[in-house]
Structures are given as C-alpha cells and as structure tokens.
Amino acid sequence: MKLHILGCHSATPRSTVFPSSQILELGNELLLIDAGEGMQIQLRKYKHKFNKIKHIFISHLHGDHFFGLVGFLSTLRLIGREKEIHIYAPVGLKQIIELQFKMTQTDINYPLHFHELSSASSEQILDAGKFEVSTIPLEHRIYTNGFLIKEKPALRKLNIEAVKQFPEIETWAYHHLKQGKDFVKEDGSIIPNDRLTLPPPKAKSYAYCSDTMYKPDIIPLIKDVDLLYHEATFLEQDKDLAGKTKHSTAKQAAQIAREAGAKKLVLGHFSSRYPDETLFAKEAGEIFTNVAIAKEGKSFEA
C-alpha cells in the first residue's frame, strides 16, 4: 500500500502546486482519490498508468476536488479505454458529468458506473476482494466524506522446508495450509499449522480525511490506521477562520492522529497564505511525532 500525491493544496492551482488529488497503489491496482484541476497532467508527469485506474473516489463537490475529472474521463475515451470505471461520489456528480458530456456531444465508449453517496453514517461502498473501502463522514460546508481503505488479511505463506519434512503432505493440501488449517495425518495426529506456514504480511490501512473541521467522532472509524492523510488548511493562529470555513488546523489534525493511534500522519490541503509549509509540520509535531508534509510527486508507504 503506497500513497502518491498528485496535488495537495487548497482552492486554486498555481504554477508549481495543484489542488487535491492522489493515487493509492494497491498491488497492481491504482485508486484515484479526488481529482482536482490538472490531475491527469500530474498522472502523466509521475508516470501512473491510466489503465490501472478502475475506482475513483470523490470526497465532495467543491471544484478543487473534482474539476479535473471530466477531462480525465474524456481522455480515457480518446485513448480507447474499454474496461469499466466506477465513481463513488456525492449525489449530484453524475448529473454534472452527464450534462458536460451531453452539451459537448461526447460519447463514452466504456462502461461508466456512478455510485452516489448520501448517507450521514459510515458505510462500506466497495468490497474488491483483496481490499475494502468505507466512507468517513466529515463536516464541511457541503456534504463530504473521507475514505478508509483497508487491505484484507492475506493467506499464510508455506514454509516449504518444514512441509518437505512430511512426505504425506501433498500439494492438494497446500491451499488449506495457507488458510491456516492444521494438517491431519492418516493416523489422526495433527501437525499444527504454525509449524508448516509463516504468517502473512500485516494488512495495511489508509484513511483520507478531506476537507473537514475538527471532528473527533471520526476517531473510532480510523482507530489504529497505518497512514492518515488529514487536511490542515490553516495554522492554529487562524483557528477562528478554520472554524468559519469548516476546515482544520495542523494542530487539530495532529490531535485526531494522536487519539486515533495512527502510525503516520500526512498533512495536506494547505492554504496559499502561508509561504513556509514546514510550519505545519512544526505545529503538528508538538502533538504527534510521526508527521510528514504532502508535496506533489511525493510518496508514502503505509
């Protein structure tokens, strides 16, 4: 599980920074999370393959989180996309995209599925076999969700050297061993599974908390998450402005990370009023130790 930042600044794109968009890499699949203006340019710049993107998650319908989407969907048509695309987004995005296609007489030649979100409670929105995605209800000026992506536990690994010590263990039994089952010999005696297999890698989790004011009731939803991206539009000196606009400060993001027991915190969605983004890390670091600053082109392991 690896996070790639395409854009992490608020409001408008500039010559060197872009609005919110990121890729979460899960094995051979790429999840696109938010799609601010310039997103597909960033995809090309950092060499992420368009064809590996099947699922797109849009947190809310402010332009700096989805204005790059229609261009991306149009490009997929032009490059001959055939595989389906699934978009998980608030009610309204489907209507916006379909109107844009209608008025520009754009015919999409691949299956495009919208999964419209409206629940004020957390809900599972995708079960993809190896991972699952749930919403994190946030509090912003309009309906907004974050997203929690969790890997499912992998199968155990065969300890081949140990297995070879028991000639009666044939290859047909390997699948049962990987599932954690003991091996029962013909005489009824049992070989414990942990003698024959190795534990799988730990299943990882990632929480994306898009635009939101300080909202401690999300903490149980993201408890013990491996990697947490939380907006930090303002510094604490502008806490009143954060409250008025329903955004968070770096300190508040750190408080969420600390109370949730997150392993690592990545701050993003910075206001352009601050020329030195290291101030965000400094402020959050007084509350939570493992803090990183998002930056276009930067990647983080979960």
pLDDT per position as a tens digit, 185-223? 989 999 999 999 999 989 999 999 999 999 999 999 999
Mode of pairing for the β-strands spanning 131-137 and 124-127? antiparallel
Under CATH, what is the fold of the domain 2-154+201-301? Metallo-beta-lactamase; Chain A (3.60.15)
> Please, are residues 197 and 178 in contact by the beta-carbon 8 Å criterion?
yes
H-run or E-run covering 89: strand 85-90
Residues paired with 252 in a beta bridge: none
* DSSP symbols for 128-144: -SSEEEEEEE--SSS--
Q: Which residues are catalytic?
A: 64
> Please, are residues 207 and 219 in contact by the beta-carbon 8 Å criterion?
no
| Number of Cβ within a 10 Å radius of residue 272 | 11
Q: How far apart are CA 240 and CA 133, in angstroms?
A: 33
DSSP state of 246: T
DSSP state of 238: G
Mode of pairing for the β-strands spanning 53-57 and 29-35? parallel
> pTM (2 decimals)?
0.93
pLDDT of residue 15 exceeding 90:
no
pLDDT per position as a tens digit, 127-155? 998 999 999 999 999 999 999 999 999 89
Per-domain residue ranges for the chain?
Answer: 2-154+201-301, 157-198
Smallest Cα–Cα separation from 252: which of 142, 171, 96, 138? Answer: 138
